[in-house]
Amino acid sequence: MPDLTPDRPAPAAPVPFTYEQDWFHTKTRTDAWAHKNVRLGFEILGDLDTDALLTAVRAFVTRHDALHLQLPADPGPDPEQRLRPIGATEQVVECQKVAAASPEQFNRYVSAILSRDCVAPWRYGEQRPFAIRLLRYDAGRHALIATFQNLVFDGRAHHLFAHEVWRDYEAVRRGDPVPDRAPSFAEAAARQRAGTTPAQRERALADWRERLGRLARTRWPSSPDRTPAGEGTREPAAEGGMLRAELDARTTAALRAACAQARLGLLQWTVGSFVHALASRTGRTEVGLWTSMDSRPPRDRDVVGMFAASCPLVVADPAGDPDAVRGRVRAGLLNALKHQRLTAAEITAVTREAEAQHGAPVGRDIYVNLRRFEGDHASVRDTGALRITADAYELRRIAVTDLHALHLRCTEYRDRLLIGLRYDGLRVGGATARAVLDDVLAAAAAQAAEPAG
């Protein structure tokens, strides 16, 4: 074991799982979810100061204690996680000079390594929950790739890594100090668990029981349904696909201002508009969703760790007045966060109750991922000396299987709203998905065009 960092000794007591960690660990342990690590990949062109980058990455890993967590070599259903701080001489970044015949070959090699790391299982009890590599082609071309065990790293943590590492790189280059402390995941996890009283748990159980029961009654049809409402021709059988859309800075700003007047968040508005469009196009009288969103309280916004909450939501009268639908979605999302207080065992138990009572499985036919980041969207960062491209390396030879009929992904930046809609091609065809997304975009344009006040 490496030397412990003296100013952050490992505590004697184990760190409690967050509710979100408990749910994720249970699902992956029972093979209900496939194992996949969180990945980042940056293409770096220009005169890179390697020492400054290594210093910035090490500072991030050292100050965020979620990346110090260790589980037993053979984690059971109730493992204990403990902190083992980064040692003073411990290497956290693996550096490699790649002898590639061309930049294209170098990029293919980087993609292959990132793909391998993305699906590699973690050796609990001996391996850190991350793998970070700096690959060099020549003085003007590098790749920084990283994978993190999802048990300790979620979408918010992904954003914090990208923001803080490049911020600190510039600080090191200027000769400025970088932060050596960060909000503690161990403390945030302890606060989350300690903040749940028996009465709150009982109310959460009752709320989940009601929502899961409604979800069991609103199953999406298992047979193909490829005729969008209002169209007279059926779609031919087809494979699934992904549709993407983007609201530019001007539209996003105008829509956000309109949402603020209605006391709606931009993501709440988008999900409500999606539900309304889906019901209008398919004739559904109720729409059941599973949502994944950041459950951090405001004080823990900068905590790296696992706080990606998964919860059900059922919307009644979804084809009614669109503003009312958006209001019901907002209330449902806030209520779901309020009752994010159950262990995986408790959620499993109430799920089985609902399925036995209604004689139908609780499915995840419609799934929604919500992510909100501070700052502007920038896939390419140009500092003058460096050109840094995020998400530059695609996965190779890895098939991504989506079990949902529809999977909506919404990512909000200060100057952009990114929307992705994946459809399975069987329960929901491409024309239906396209019509739903077009309706959401039309509603956004109309809402943004309305005069203020």
Average pLDDT, rounded, for the chain: 90
Confidence of residue 382 (pLDDT cuts 50, 70, 90): confident
Bridge partners of residue 329, in order along the sequence = none
Give the least confident one: 223-227, 292-296, 301-305, 350-354: 223-227
Task: State the burial class of residue 31 (Cβ atoms within 10 Å of its Cβ: 0-12, 13-18, 19+).
Answer: exposed
pLDDT at 32: 66
- Sequence-distant (≥ 6) Cβ neighbours of residue 153 within 8 angstroms: 38, 66, 67, 129, 130, 304, 305, 306
**Residue given tokens 């159980």 in the structure block:** 205
pLDDT at 402: 66
Return the structure tokens found at 397. 């030879």
pLDDT at 452: 62
- Alpha carbon distance 119, 61 (integer Å): 21
Taking residues 39-53, report their average pLDDT: 97
pTM of the complete model: 0.89
CA 449 to chain centre: 31
Bridge partners of residue 423, in order along the sequence = 241, 406
Taking residues 346-359, report their average pLDDT: 92
pLDDT at 282: 94
- Sequence-distant (≥ 6) Cβ neighbours of residue 329 within 8 angstroms: 268, 271, 272, 275, 313, 315
pLDDT higher for 377 or 89? 89
Structure confidence by residue, pLDDT tens digits, 426-447: 899 999 999 999 999 999 999 9
Taking residues 45-67, report their average pLDDT: 97
Structure confidence by residue, pLDDT tens digits, 359-378: 888 888 999 999 998 888 87
Structure confidence by residue, pLDDT tens digits, 227-267: 454 444 445 556 889 999 999 999 999 999 999 999 999 99
